[in-house]
Structure formats: C-alpha cells, structure tokens
Structure 1
Amino acid sequence: MSSSHRHDAEAVPLPPSPRKSKAASFSDDGHDHDEYGPPVGALPLPPREGLHRALSARQVSMIAIAGTIGTGLFLGTGKSLAQGGPASMLLCYGIVGFIVYVTLLLLGEMATQYPVAGSFNAYATRFFSPSYGFALSWNYWFNDAVSVASDLTAAQLVLQYWTIWHTWVISLIFWVFLVTVNAIHVRAYGELEYWLSSLKVVTVIVFIILGIAVNVGGNQQHEYIGGKNWHIPGAPFVGGFGGFARVFVTASFAYGGTESLGITAGETKNPSRNMPRVVKFVFWRILLFYILSILLMGLNVPYTYPNLSNKETTTSPFTIVFQMAGSTVAASFMNTVILTSVLSAGNHALFAGTRVLYGLAVTQPPQAPSIFARTSRNGVPLFALAATSSISILCFGSSFIGSGALWSWLQNIVGVSNQIAWLSIGLASWRFRRAWIRQGRPLSELKFRAAWTWPWGPPFVVISVAVIIIIQGWSSVIPKFSAVDFVSFYIEIPVLIVMYVGYMLVRRPGPSSAQTALPTGTEAVPQHRSVPRRVWNVLTYNDQVDVKTVDLRRDEYHEAAEDIADDTQREAKFHGRWRWFWKVYYAVV
C-alpha cells in the first residue's frame, strides 16, 4: 500500500490550537504548520515519499488501450494467422477476449475498493495465500521485464521493413528513451501513453475502413476477395487442433496488459469513480478493435503469405493490407505507426514492472529488498525502475539468433504469464467475494459491483484459463516433440511452484517455534531431526487466508476533498449549457 494512500485513508483532523505555537514553521509547500498538525480545513499534506495520484481518467483509459493494442495486435497476429489460419485466429481471440473481459470486471471490483500498489498481486496475497502472492508477484514482474525485451526485439523486426543494418542500435536508443521518460514523473509516462495510444486507435480505425475497401475490390488487382482466403488448401483451420490450440498463447500475449489497469489504481485520481468508468467502457472498444481487425486480416491476407512468420522475421498483416491497397507510402506510414506502438507497449510494460516491484517492497512483510521501495521527490521508484529495465538486455540476444525466433519464444513466455495473472485474479476474486459474504457486509457497500458475474465469474475464469494453459502446448508435443517450444509454453508453471514452495520454506517457522505445548510425557524432538521435520511441516502447511477473519476495512479508499470537488465539477458540466459537448468530449478522450 502506498504511503500516499495510507495518509489519505487514516489521517484524522486534529483539534485546532487556540494560538500559534512557538514551534510553528513554514514547509516547502508554502503552508505553515505547528506541532498540533495541519490547519483546520486543510487537506492532508502529501508525504515526501511514495507514489503520487497523478493519473487522470483520460490517461488511465488510454493506458488500458495502450497495454492491449500493441505488438500483439500489430505484429503477433501474423504468427497467429500463419500457425492457426483465419478461423482459428478469429475463434481464439474471441474466446480469450471474453475471458479477459470477465477477468477485468472481477479486478475492477477489488481495485475500486482497494486501490493499492501491487494490484492483483496484492489481492492474491491478501485474500488467497501470502506464499502464492509472493510467487505470483515475482512471476508478473518477470513478465513485465521480459515484455520490455520482447517489445524492443519486435522493434528490430519492424525496422527490417526498411533496413537490416544493425537494428539493435535503434532498440538501444528506445531503451534509453523509455527509462528516461519513466524516471521523470508518472505524468510524463501517462501523457506519452495517451498520445501514442491515440495514434494507434486512429490507425486501427483507418485500417478497418481500408480493410473493407481492399476486400471488396479496392486493391491493386481490382479483385473482389471476399472469403477466398478461407478456402485455400489448409484453411481455415491450419494445423488442425494443434494449430488452433497454439493460437491461444499468442492471443493471450495480445490481450496482456488489461490486467495492469489495477496496477495504475495506486496512482489514479479519484479511483472510486474513475476505475469503474475505465473498466466498463474501455474493454468493449478494445474487443471491437480486435475482432474487426482480425476478421479483416483473415479475409484479406492468406496464411501462406511469404515471410508472414518464420525464424528470421515476422511481417505485420496491417502493413500487408496497406501494400495491397497499392500505396508504398501508406505501408511505410503503417510500419512507422507499428514502431511507435512497440515503443508504447515497452513504455507500458516498464511502468507496470516497476510498480509491481515497488509493491513487493512496500507490502508487509516485505517480499523484496527495501531499496526498491525508495522513491524520488516526484514519486518515482527509481531503484525498481533500474532493476526492471536491466532485464531488457535480453533484446540484444537477437544479434546471435533469429529475431523472429527470439520474439516468438518471448511471446510464448509472456503469454503464459498473462494467463497465470488472469487465473490468479479469478482466485483472489473468489476468496474476496466469499469473505465479503461470510463477514456479513452488504453488497451495497461495494464501490463497484459487476452484478451479472455473481456468482459464476471467478470459477469460470479459473477453470477456463487453466484449460487453455494445459492445451495450448499441444503442438509442441504432437505430432513431434519440440523441447524449445515446450519449455517456452510451460516453463512458467514449475518456476511458480518452486517460488511458492520456497517462500513457504523460508516463512514457515521451525519445529521449535511452531510447536505448541506438548502432551505430558511426550519427548522433545531431537535437534538433528529439525530439518526433516521442517520440510514435513511445510508439506502439511496451508497458508490460505481465512475468509472469516481477513480484514476487509484496511486499505479501503475514502474520497478526499479534491475527489468530491472533481465529481461536482464533472456533474456541473453534464447539466450546464454545453452538456452535450462535454458528454461527447468525455466519450472520445
């Protein structure tokens, strides 16, 4: 939990002193303070350290879009189309999209009630299991760190459209730029994401319009395409069930980032109002963009298109469609947009990974070294930023193996990690809802509730995601076993289990401290048996949180004066003379 949130939630105004104390002084914020605390009626002073609530609803909405409309849609769909065909791609992206939407609603309930640093990682620790939360948090931090590497590697693939000369140099320049932006202030990150995301949204809309025109004859051959590419040999389901299952992981990579909405909750203005707005409206736009774009890709681009996806390179279906329209300049512009989307996705992943590591350091008890909890005066956890950005050195591995192969492996790893995150959100929500009911709190006290997902939402997410994780590696085993692909599909699972058990080994006290009073006449356990007994204690130990006793009041967000003023101002705009203008404005931005 960030210190800024804790201050807002727990600060109690002190009675005014009858006169100024001799100890009164002026702080650097321009307000005078005395030994009795702040002046009556003044807002609580922000702490010098901790995250700052500086992201607006406009920025958070675009951050959600930026985290999803990125390399997965612009570049990853080429791999999906080549491996699974147009029908598999459309079905898998539709199925995963629905699962993610339900997951986002479940996360929205918790993030609105408890907008803390660490988001769903913190909820898994609090409502399910501290050991599992520890393993999940470190897994997701690694996911974000690898995502930065994946995006920088994708930049090299995009640059190959123009040149093959030392494309890693551009990746290095991008890396320096992203670290610099994230080190300044959270507002710098939010504003960069807003404008990069706006460019991506406009581009997707243009692509949808152009894709329809290309399909009905507005192409270089002046030929009506229709559904012809669904009937070429091998289509529409390429590779049978194995090809279909394989697309799930690339779809999960593409949709990854929506869950990081909860990570922004710790730095969002007026989270009790803004988070529900984002959750309810943003995802439908994302799903609409994805389904329409993927349908048009499958209709216009054959899965046999040269260099669509191989070891050396991956070509964006977006660029191909622009080429089909007969404009080399437009294709270059599209590739430039894809390059900016890669930059945006890397920026988003670097921000999310930094905040996850910060959340690990500030939780109680700490699950990461305390140095990662240190922040600058601008509220930026610089040490966590340095640690996260250092992992992106992986992108330079593409100098020794094919960029296409490296990006494909990183895509699989990140995709599976996203799925584990969604499953964990389902587990945390399941326990959170049970605790809320068991402790007799009325549902009306929830600041946001997705009523239509009660009670089936959490078990649906847990079961469906678990099934996808199991079956998506089918093609790596049948008909021929591929060790590299198998590892990229499943390496996350044993790593998570090892960290889960390892944390319990560290946390679980030894026999001497864990033992309660022994029955009369029972001999004490010899010292040399302490290690085996400790292992046995861990194997029989269950650290699941008791839903009947977990504290549901701690970390609840209480609206501050500026939140109420913000709501009042917004409502006044909706009822004033220019109400229609403001309704359109907020709907657009």
Structure 2
Amino acid sequence: MGSTVFSMSTSLNSQSHPSSTGYGTMATSSRDSKDSISKHPQDSHEGPHTHYDPEQPTLAHAEDGRDDRARLHRGLSSRQVSMIAIAGTIGTGLFLGTGRSLATGGPASILICYTIVGFIVYITLLLLGEMATQYPVAGSFNAYAVRFFSPSYGFALSWNYWFNDAVSVAGDLTAAQMLLSYWTPNHLWAISVCFWFFLVGVNSIHVKAYGELEYWLSLLKIVTIVVFIIMGVLVNVGVNSDGRYIGSSNWRIEGAPFVGGFSGFASVFVTASFAYGATESLGITAGETKNPSKNMPRVIKMVFWRIILFYLISVLLIGLNVPHNYPNLSNKSVTTSPFTIVFQEAGSKAAASFMNTVIMTSVLSAGNHALYAGTRVLYGLSTAVPTRQAPKIFSWTTANGVPLPALLATSSISALCFGSSYIGSGQLWSWLQNLVGVSNQIAWISIGLASWKFRAAWQKQGHSMDELKFSPKWTRGWGAPFVVITTTAILLIQGWHSIFPVFTPIDFVSYYVQIPIMTVMSLGWLWTRGLLGRGVNGAGTKRRTWWHHDFVDGKIVDLVRDQYEEQEEDHEEEELREKRRGGRGGWLWRAYYLFA
C-alpha cells in the first residue's frame, strides 16, 4: 500500500518525517485504488500524463533509514505554537500598516475592511486546522494544494508563498528603518544589517531557540497592545495633551470617514490582508509541533479570537484618535506608527519613544517568523514526493534539524531592504506590502480550494466527516466556497485605485503581477510533466495535445499517508494536563492554559 504513516519519536527532540509535501494522486489507500492507477497514465484519456511508477517507493520510503540530517525536529510546544501564531499576525501590519490604511481609506474603511478580512481569515484558519490536524506536515497548505487539488498549481503556490515570506523579511527590515528614523536619519541600512545577522543567527541554532524567542517577543506585544487599548480609551475621553474630549470627531473631519471613495476603501483590503497575513503559516508549524492531534485544534480554536479582538479594538481606537490627515502618517519617505502617535497625544514623548522601541521588537518578531516560515516552505519543496520541486540541497539540515541552505536562500531576498536608500523606505514598504498582501490572499484561496477537494475526496472514499480528528461542523458545505469566492473578489477589486482615475503602472504591477507569474509557473510545471503541448494516444501513437489538466482525482487520492500516530508520551502529556486542571489550584492551571 503506497502510504506512509506520519510518526514521531518518543524523545523530546523527536523528528518529523522528511516527506513534508505529497501528491495525492501518487499513492492510494487501498489495493483496488492502487490497481486502478497501475497503468501508465498515458494509456488513458481520462487522467493526467504524470510519469511515475506506483510500485516505486516515494522519497519518504526511500530515505527512511537515513540519519538525523534532512529531518526536522518536533521541538515546538503548544505554548510556543500559540504565541507564534500571534507573533506572525501582530507585527508591522498592525503597528505600521494601519497608518497607511487610515491615510488612504479613512477610519470607517479600516474598521469595515479589517472586520471582513478578519472573518475570512478565521474561516480559513478553521479549514486549514482540519487538514493540519489530520496531516501535520511541514509543507502545510502548500502540500495540501499539491496533494488534494493540483500538483502544478501547488508548485506555483509553494514558490509564490516562499517568495512571500522572503519579501516579508525584507519588508520588516525596511519597516525597521522607518521606525529608526523616528530617532535619527543616519546610517539606517547599517542597523538593518545587524538585524539581518541577528535573525539568521537565531534561526540557525535550533527550532527551540526560534520558538522561545517568539514566545517572549509575542508576550511583550500582547502586553503592549493591552496598554495601548487602555491608553487609547483615556486619550479619547480627554486624557491628552490638549485636554479635550475627542470622541468620534475624527470621523467627521474633511474627507472622513471614507477617504478616497470606493478606490480608497478597496485599497485597504490589501493592507488588511498584509496585517492578518502569516496566520495561515500556523499550519507550517504542524510539522514541528509536539502532539499535533491535540495541540493544533487547541491553538486554532483559541488563538484567532485573541487576534481578532486585539485587531478590531486597536483599529477602532486608531480611527477615533488619529486623524487621517495627520502629518507623516504615510508618505514616500516616512511612515509613523499610529500607536506612537496616540502616546504622543497623551503628552509623553518618553512613552512614545518607548512604544516605538516595542514596535521595533515586534518588527524583529515578524521578520523572525517570516524567515522561519519561508525556510520551512523551501525545505518542503525540496522534499516533495514523488518529484522534488526545489534543488535537493535545500533538504539538507544540520544535526539540530535546521535547514541551513534553505535558511540562507530565504534570507538573501531581504537584500531588497537596501533599496530603500534609493527609492524611499515608505514607498518601497508600500510596494512590499502590496506584494505580501496579495500573496496572503492567494494562500487563503488555495487553502479553500485544497479544503474543498479534501472534503470531497474524504466523502467519496466512504468516510464520514465525523471521523476527522478536528472538523468544525458549522463550516461544512459553505466554508471552503465562501473563502475562495470572497477572497478572489477582494483580490480583483483592491487594485482599483491603480487603474482609476489615473493608471499607475508600478502600483498596478504590485497588485496583480503574481497572478500571471503563478499562471506561467503552473504551465511550466505541466510542460515538464508532459501535460502541455505533446502527448500520446492509447495505442502509443504521438498526437497533439495542447493542454491536459493534472487535477487530483478524489476517488483515488491517498488519505492515509502522513496521518499522525499518537505516541505514549502524548498520552502522558494529556494526563498531566488534565491532572493539573482538576487538582488543587486547578483554576490557575486553567488560566495558564487559556492564555499560554
């Protein structure tokens, strides 16, 4: 049977299987389905011309006996994964991106758009969690798109998302330069170089080092946002340098509450998508999470409620307290954080400077998370089965389970940040925001497509949805189509202002360039697989075939491979957790597990 059960060693540094990405059409979960594809695909006009031998072992089978190198380690605890999810979303998008959103769309636009995108991302996270709990692999939604939807599309998606993460690192380093300009305009690039070395150094040690750094930086951000919310309320009711009650007055100034009309409103979607981005990369941590069958559902159920709470309250207070025409809120050379502005309005320059420092740590945290995620995506591409989608060198890891070549390749893209010296850090960051925001939207659409096909395949093969380890019942039937349709609509309309009233080529490219690039990459993959421009008929005679799809057949996709098998230490951890919750001082433990 062409399947591999995803297992975990019983030690704390237990290791994940190298097969982090898989093709659903390449192996099946029953003898009958295996026999049904044992012929060469070209012998039939029904299926894709994918060249493989179902009797041959996959990469996962072939390398089961290798040493610790080329393997990831399960070193992330539930406590760390929960905070990592927050760290990936609460970063430059919230602390700086809200300034651009407010300046271009106005207070009503950011509140409405952030609410809409927040709900879409929440549904997307539930869909991803369903698959990540069942198949906790390092490639996450990229692997699911390949396995359940289309290998060629998954190939393009994976490389696009890797570029997204790499550009995110560049964007965070560029944002760091803008934050540093609050104190000094001199030698900002040199400090970015120091930040780059710091991030690469942390990620090259061990996944535990990355996880622990993210935990404490995320905790600092949460405390900061709570303080900001309290301060924002006080500033609004009159505790400010002018001693006046602000209320909703900034919603009634000239141009507000909707700045720029429909085009201004639509443009906020991409910055909101940038702000909420990386939530989906929670699934990437599944390949290095302890006891993912239990910990992934817990994290998914709880973490986004915390995030959406922080986002919506923060965005509301920013719109109330900061006017959309505030000087230097967002321009070509400077972008000032609305969080810093609120503390300035409170009349404390020292507090504003401290807030800017905290935002700087959040930028490092976001860059750290993006670098980690991009590294794992590239690693997943290099270990894809049965055909690698990236050079083999990127599958090499250190003895500590760090994919060092993939790390260096991902971090090298961050050299883009040095372009800020010539373009203007505010302008460059705006373009990077667009690129990352659109890439995030493509990722959400892909999760919806993969979930749509996965659920259909699960039921076609006679399974009940209740058999899944985690499956929110209220999203069944409509969740995946909703994500695909609404996100696609947003992706298409958000670049309206780059076309009307004046066509702006550079902005237009930053909004839409990834669509043709992904199309070309998908077609290129089909060409290399023999699915485009050539082919043979059933008798072996050459015939002209301009196009042939490689969509996965849900009736034969392997639904067994990569399922996680719980170990004895997982049960011991669960028993200890329940013992703590039910014993003396159980309420303290329940509070700890709720927030940590």
TM over 0.5: yes
Counterpart contact for 2:92–2:172, Cα < 8 Å: yes
Between 1:559-568 and 1:134-143, the stretch displaced more is: 559-568
1:403 counterpart residue number:
425
Correspondence 1:178-577 to 2 at 5 A = 178-364=199-385, 365-508=387-530, 514-517=536-539, 525=542, 537=545, 539-577=546-584
Report deviation, 1:63: 0.4
* SS across alignment from 1:516: coil
Name the residue aligned to 1:157: 178
Distance 2:303 2:18 in 1: 30
User: What is the CA-CA distance between 1:7 and the residue it aligns to?
Assistant: 9.1
Separation in 2 of the partners of 1:7 and 1:353? 17
Q: Is the 8 A contact 1:84 1:238 kept in 2?
A: yes
Residues 383-424 of structure 1: CA distance to partner in whole angstroms, max 9, x if unpaired? Answer: 000100011000000111110000000000000000000000
Assess if the C-alpha contact under 8 Å between 1:112 and 1:447 holds in 2: yes
Q: Distance in 1 between matches of 2:448 and 2:140?
A: 13
Contact map agreement 1:52 1:267 (CA 8 A) in 2: yes
1:79 counterpart (100, 115, 118): 100
Deviation for aligned residue 1:588: 2.1
Distance 1:456 1:49 in 2: 39
Q: Which amino acid aligns with 2:362?
A: S
**Local SS of the residue matching 2:399:** coil
Matched residues, number: 540
Could you list the per-position Cα deviations for residues 291-343 of structure 1 after superposition, in whole angstroms to 9, with x for gaps in the alignment? 00000000000001001000111110000000000001000000001100010
Does structure 2 retain, via aligned residues, the 8 Å contact 1:196–1:344? yes
Per-residue CA shift, 1:114-154, capped at 9, x if unaligned? 00011000000000000000000000000000000000000
The letter of the residue matching 1:373 is: S
Is the Cα–Cα contact under 8 Å of residues 8 and 558 in structure 1 kept in the other structure? no
The structure with the largest alpha-carbon Rg is 1
| Amino acid of the structure 1 residue aligned with 2:191 | I
CA distance in 2: counterparts of 1:339 and 1:106, whole angstroms: 32
Deviation at 1:575, TM superposition (A): 1.5
Matched, 1:89 2:96: no
The answer as to 2:557 corresponding to 1:580 is no
Name the structure 1 match of 2:30: none
Quote the Cα distance in structure 1 between the aligned partners of 2:16 and 2:170: 32
Q: Could you tell me which amino acid in structure 1 is paired with residue 84 of structure 2?
A: I
- Look up the equivalent residue of 1:156 and give its one-letter code: Q
Q: Deviation of residue 443 (structure 1)?
A: 2.1
Which 10-residue stretch deviates more, 194-203 or 505-514? 505-514
Structure with the larger RCO, 1 or 2 (CA within 8 Å, 6+ apart): 2
8 Å Cα contact 1:152-1:346 kept in structure 2: yes
Paired AA for residue 416 in structure 1: V
Distance, in Å, in 1 between the alignment partners of 2:453 and 2:186 is 53
Which whole-Å deviations, capped at 9, do the CAs of 1:94-119 have from their partners, x for residues lacking one? 00000000000000000000000110
Residue 200 of structure 1: SS of its match in structure 2?
A: helix
| Structure 1 residue identity aligned to 2:160 | N
Pairwise CA distance, 1:6 = 4.0
CA positional deviation for 1:47? 4.1
Structure 2: gaps (5+ residues): 8-14, 21-64
TM-fit CA distance, 1:49 = 3.9
Query: C-alpha offsets along residues 53-89 of structure 1, whole Å, 9 cap, x if unaligned?
Result: 0100000000000000000000000000000000001
Range with bigger deviation, 329-338 or 564-573:
564-573
* Residue matched to 1:141: 162
Structure-2 change in CA distance of 1:88 and 1:509 (3 Å):
closer
Contact 1:193/1:344 (<8 A) preserved: yes
Question: Which residue of the partner structure matches residue 52 of structure 2?
Answer: none
Q: Does structure 2 retain, via aligned residues, the 8 Å contact 1:253–1:412?
A: yes
Q: Deviations over 1:241-286 (max 9, x none)?
A: 0000000000000000100000000000000000000100000010
Amino acid paired to 2:428: L
Structure 1's 513 and 500: CA in aligned 2 closer, same or farther, altered over 3 A? closer
Shift of 1:444: 2.6
Distance 1:351 1:177 in 2: 13
Contact 1:147 1:349 in 2 (8 A): yes
- Summarize the Cα distance change of 1:510–1:152 in structure 2 as closer, same or farther, 3 Å threshold: closer
Give the 3 Å change call, closer, same or farther, for CA 45–388 of structure 1 in structure 2: closer
Q: 3-state DSSP class of the match of 1:273? A: helix
Q: How high is the TM-score relative to the length of structure 2?
A: 0.88
Query: Mean alpha-carbon deviation: is it higher for 168-177 or for 576-585?
Result: 576-585
After TM superposition, give the deviation of residue 380 of structure 1 in Å.
0.4
Structure 1 stretches of 5 or more lacking a match? Answer: 10-43, 519-523, 526-532
**Partners of 1:200 and 1:512 in 2: how far apart?**
55
**Could you tell me the percent identity over the aligned residues?**
68
d(CA) in 1 for partners of 2:74 and 2:141? Answer: 18
Distance 2:522 2:66 in 1: 39
- Closer, same or farther in 2 for the Cα pair 1:222/1:559, shift >3 Å? same
